[in-house]
């Protein structure tokens, strides 16, 4: 009885932490673009919650972000963090932010893929939904900033989320234990993402 | 028996009037951008109905705009209004349009927040949904025009909708009568919006 | 017993063929924009499946694209086609692609409008949903490419889909047989689209 409860609490804490990181990133991007207070709030919401909302709507579920208040609280706190003096707040591209972002990405990709499988989505589109939940918020943020979404041409980011989704789907297919599968998927995503930032890995392009 | 029916008819008329104003604004923006007839029609639909559709889809409801025909009729009439000779039709930024737009904004923000609360959304995300319903159409319009959405960096517009949503939520929380709460929320939104246009109020930015 | 089954199989094959064409177009556009492999995959998915997903979500249905695996398979194969040597693969704007695209457009417009009517949407918004399902994927693709969607200002494309939707709605209204109505609608859409490309037809603009 204790184990699952501890595990659930860890996942829950990590979910809220990931939401907070994405909210801060959205707020900093908005502040950097010269948006006003409401623009900062909107970009925080969209970056942190947009991917999960799109995924849940496709699944026919009410998005957790509107069913429960704590996500909105976290996002508002994250957005307010940009009001901290510049000497205190971390730059958008610093290592601590990159690491927290990679943790959030891994968690959202794993949890989103599991959610899709639990809702009777076929394995192949489940990979797609898991990736959408993890990177969709960033895509909407970039659209609102009037930029080509970074994930389409820069870095290894969506690919790391997709890798996590594929590991989850294959692990579940092979009837492996859900916890080791989730852990392996998360580590694969985190490792690929951090490796890509550290060593400048890029996906190939087609000439 | 008479009173609610009169109230409902007023709200209904105002809802359709707000839809018409937003449709005209979308059509004028499309004509100004050099779009063709179908582009004008698309931008009318999106501006007038997009916010409500996104809100209703998140709520798990069938959007009123596809369940009932009168919204589409209104939008088509609104789009056709741009075909009027330029000497007759009002410029996009004239005072009559600004006032009608502020009325539509207030109405959509109040009605959308109430709809969210009635569908068992928590108070905090209900504010978010009420605002989305009121300003979402304009955001999608700006995205289609390939511009950074105005509400993120210009004017006081989404903030006025958010104010209305917050007043509705607090009023309902305090168990005040629904009609005075709706009226107070609408007046607050309308007043803030008109004051912002008249006096050039801006939200602060973060340096 | 044979007839409907043959008809259903033809529609099904045409649906998958249309999906494949749209996927290839999305992939080629992504490759042309210099996107990496994941960007190509994302644009393929979005172009081929985005319109249908938006339509189905508005209808309150689970999108076929996530309920069944074959759509994802088709899209992945379509995306991989861009990896073919340039000497083998057709240019985006060649006649074979234009014709296949017009077939896909006609089919999606007809099938989407019928789906909307079957789900108790009123006739007027059903025209809107049929058009969205047919052209929505291309609109999202253009947004991700950070361009003004082509359908808003170029060519006759969405208008052809709208024509098909209107023919379906009127034909069903007049209680004509579903198959001749679908055929007439598809031919009207295909003919208008191909005529527009061949003769450079344009919709009027408003000065």
How far CA C76 is from CA of A158, A206, B120, C82, in Å, comes to 16, 15, 40, 11
**Distant-in-sequence, close-in-space partners of C121: CB < 8 Å, separation ≥ 6:** B66, B67, C59, C129
What pLDDT shows up at residue C147? Answer: 95
Is A2's pLDDT higher than 60?
no
Pair of tokens at residue C197: 């490309």
Question: Is C125 in contact with B69 (Cβ distance < 8 A)?
Answer: yes
What is the least distance, in Å, from the CA of B86 to any CA of chain A?
A: 31
- Greater model confidence, B119 or A205: B119
- Phi, psi dihedrals of residue B92, rounded to the nearest 5°: -55, -35
Share of chain C above pLDDT 70, in %: 89
Question: Is A122 in contact with C68 (Cβ distance < 8 A)?
Answer: yes
* Residue with tokens 């550290």, as numbered in its chain: A198
The conformation of residue A191, written as its DSSP 8-state character, comes to: H
What pLDDT shows up at residue B2? Answer: 41
Question: pLDDT band at B94, cuts 50/70/90?
Answer: confident
B54-65 pLDDT, tens digit per residue, is 999 999 999 989
Question: Is C146 in contact with A151 (Cβ distance < 8 A)?
Answer: no
Question: Is A144 in contact with B147 (Cβ distance < 8 A)?
Answer: no
What pLDDT shows up at residue B1? Answer: 38
What pLDDT shows up at residue B87? Answer: 64
Question: Is C39 in contact with A162 (Cβ distance < 8 A)?
Answer: no
Question: Is A66 in contact with B207 (Cβ distance < 8 A)?
Answer: no
C44-A154-A134 Cα angle (round to 5): 65
Question: pLDDT band at C3, cuts 50/70/90?
Answer: very low
3-state secondary structure of C205: strand
Best residue of B35, B38, B46, B78 to probe chain C, by most C CBs closer than 10 Å: B38
What pLDDT shows up at residue C204? Answer: 77
Is A197's pLDDT higher than 80?
yes
Q: Which of B40, B66, B73 sits opposite C206 (nearest CB)?
A: B40
Q: What is the ipTM of this complex?
A: 0.89
Question: pLDDT band at A184, cuts 50/70/90?
Answer: very high
CB pairs under 8 A between A and C: 82
Phi-psi map region of A202: left, alpha, beta (phi>0 left; psi -120 to 50 alpha): beta
Provide mean pLDDT across the span B23-48: 92
What is the least distance, in Å, from the CA of C125 to any CA of chain B?
A: 5
Name chain A contacts of B207, Cβ cutoff 8 Å. Answer: 86
Is C140's pLDDT higher than 60?
yes
Provide mean pLDDT across the span B12-34: 87
Provide mean pLDDT across the span B34-61: 94
What pLDDT shows up at residue B6? Answer: 59
Average pLDDT, chain A: 89
DSSP output for chain B: -HHHHHHHHHHHHHHHHHHHHHHHHHHHHHHHTT-BHHHHHHHHHHHHHHHHHHHHHHHT---HHHH-SHHHHHHHHHHHGGGS-TTTSPPTTSHHHHHHHHHHHHHHHHHHHHHHHHTT--HHHHHHHHHHHHHHHHHHHHHHTTS--GGGTSSSSHHHHHHHHHHHHHHHHTT--HHHHHHHHHHHHHHHHHHHHHHT----B--
Question: Is B116 in contact with A83 (Cβ distance < 8 A)?
Answer: no
Share of chain A above pLDDT 70, in %: 89
Q: Which has the closest alpha carbon to B177: B58, B7, B2?
A: B7
Pair of tokens at residue C73: 């398979």
Q: Which of A73, A143, A145 sits opposite B124 (nearest CB)?
A: A73
Is B3's pLDDT higher than 50?
no
Pair of tokens at residue A72: 């909105």
- Across C167-186, b (16+ Cβ under 10 Å) vs e yields bbbebbeeeeeeeebbebbb
Is A71's pLDDT higher than 80?
yes
Is C21's pLDDT higher than 50?
yes
What pLDDT shows up at residue B90? Answer: 61
Domain ranges of chain B: 2-199
pTM of the entire predicted model: 0.92
Name chain C contacts of A146, Cβ cutoff 8 Å. Answer: 146
Phi-psi map region of B60: left, alpha, beta (phi>0 left; psi -120 to 50 alpha): left
Q: How far is CA B114 from the centre of its chain?
A: 14
Name chain C contacts of B51, Cβ cutoff 8 Å. Answer: none
Question: Is A38 in contact with B122 (Cβ distance < 8 A)?
Answer: no
Is A3's pLDDT higher than 50?
no
- Across B9-47, b (16+ Cβ under 10 Å) vs e yields eeeeebbeebbbbbbbbbbbbbbebebbbbbbbbbbbbb
Question: Is C149 in contact with B145 (Cβ distance < 8 A)?
Answer: no
Shortest CA distance from C119: residue in chain B: B67
**Distant-in-sequence, close-in-space partners of A196: CB < 8 Å, separation ≥ 6:** A155, A156, A157, A160, A202
Where are the alpha helices (H) located in A60-122, listed in sequence order?
64-67, 70-80, 95-118
Shortest CA distance from A207: residue in chain C: C31
Pair of tokens at residue B21: 């104003």
Best residue of A29, A60, A66, A92 to probe chain B, by most B CBs closer than 10 Å: A66
Q: Which has the closest alpha carbon to C72: A60, A167, A133, A122?
A: A122
Check if the beta carbon of residue A7 is closer than 8 Å to that of residue A179.
Answer: yes
Question: Is C38 in contact with A204 (Cβ distance < 8 A)?
Answer: no
Shortest CA distance from B44: residue in chain C: C152
Is B206's pLDDT higher than 80?
no
B71-81 pLDDT, tens digit per residue, is 999 999 988 88
Shortest CA distance from A81: residue in chain B: B206
Question: Is C67 in contact with A121 (Cβ distance < 8 A)?
Answer: yes
Is A6's pLDDT higher than 70?
no
Provide mean pLDDT across the span B136-165: 94
What is the least distance, in Å, from the CA of A60 to any CA of chain C?
A: 6
Phi-psi map region of B157: left, alpha, beta (phi>0 left; psi -120 to 50 alpha): alpha
* Residue with tokens 């340039």, as numbered in its chain: C86
What pLDDT shows up at residue C2? Answer: 41
Average pLDDT, chain C: 89
């Amino acid at each position: 009885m204790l184990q699952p409860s501890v595990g659930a609490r860890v996942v829950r804490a990590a979910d809220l932490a990931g939401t907070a990181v994405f909210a801060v990133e959205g707020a900093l991007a908005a502040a950097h673009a010269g948006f006003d207070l409401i623009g900062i709030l909107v970009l925080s919401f969209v970056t942190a919650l947009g991917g999960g909302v799109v995924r849940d709507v496709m699944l026919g579920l009410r998005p957790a972000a509107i069913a429960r208040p704590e996500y909105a609280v976290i996002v508002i706190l994250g957005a307010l963090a940009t009001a901290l003096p510049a000497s205190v707040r971390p730059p958008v591209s610093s290592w601590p932010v990159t690491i927290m972002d990679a943790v959030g990405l891994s968690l959202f990709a794993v949890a989103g893929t599991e959610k899709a499988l639990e809702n009777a989505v076929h394995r192949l589109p489940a990979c797609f939904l898991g990736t959408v939940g993890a990177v969709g918020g960033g895509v909407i943020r970039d659209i609102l900033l009037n930029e080509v979404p970074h994930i389409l041409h820069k870095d290894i980011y969506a690919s790391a989320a997709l890798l996590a989704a594929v590991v989850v789907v294959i692990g579940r297919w092979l009837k492996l234990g859900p916890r080791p599968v989730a852990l392996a998927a998360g580590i694969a995503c985190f490792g690929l993402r951090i490796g890509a930032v550290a060593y400048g890995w890029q996906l190939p392009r087609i000439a």
